Amino acid sequence: MTCPRTTPPKNMRRKDKEITDRSIIDELLATARVCRIALVDAGEPYIVPVNYGYCDNALYVHSAAAGRKMDILRRNNRVCFEIESSIAIIEHPEPCHWGVRARSLIGYGRVEILTDREQKRRGLDIIMAHHGKTDANVYNEKQLTALVILKLTIESVVGKQLGNWEESAPADS
């Protein structure tokens, strides 16, 4: 599946740390394993870590049809999300000189709750492919009926990188 690109907003204070190469942003979206979705519940922040699949400028997440996250999304489908990858702590003999080598994304979008059986199958296939299972998937009908797929359409995304990326990348942590 090919995934169209979005234009990142130009709102980072430290332009020297901004990832402007869209291929790096797409790589992070396509390879990271965990996304944190931030919601607002009656004026209070609420953040949920989820695994996901990425395609068609959207993140796909499976969810139970009931619960706090779903209650919030039914009232307000506007969200912020965060993804990071390739994090390494850079040690130094002096505590204030420690550092980090990491890449991260922060984006904004709107969530659509998919309940149609074929949309749910497609969303699950995207999630499974994202995590390495690309052959045909067979889903339990009872479980498929019980879950929903959240489609987070990305409206904007900006990337940030810390540390020296001219060296080889560290293993994800």
Q: What is the pLDDT of residues 31-83, one digit of tens each?
A: 999 999 999 999 999 999 999 999 989 999 999 999 999 999 999 999 999 99
Tell me how far CA of residue 72 lies from CA of 107, 109, 146, in angstroms: 19, 15, 19
Buried b / exposed e across 22-46, counting CB within 10 Å, b at 16+? eeebbebbeebeebebebeeeeeee
Which two structure tokens, joined as six digits, stand for 173?
A: 């942590």
Name all domains of the chain by residue range, CATH numbers in brackets.
15-162 (2.30.110.10)
What does the pLDDT read at residue 3? 45
The answer to pTM > 0.85 is no
Longest Cα–Cα distance of the chain, Å, equals 57
**Residues found in the chain:** 173
Q: Mean per-residue pLDDT for 142-162?
A: 92
Q: What is the pLDDT of residues 5-25, one digit of tens each?
A: 444 455 656 666 678 888 889
Which of 28-37, 93-102, 134-143 has the highest average model confidence (pLDDT)?
Answer: 28-37
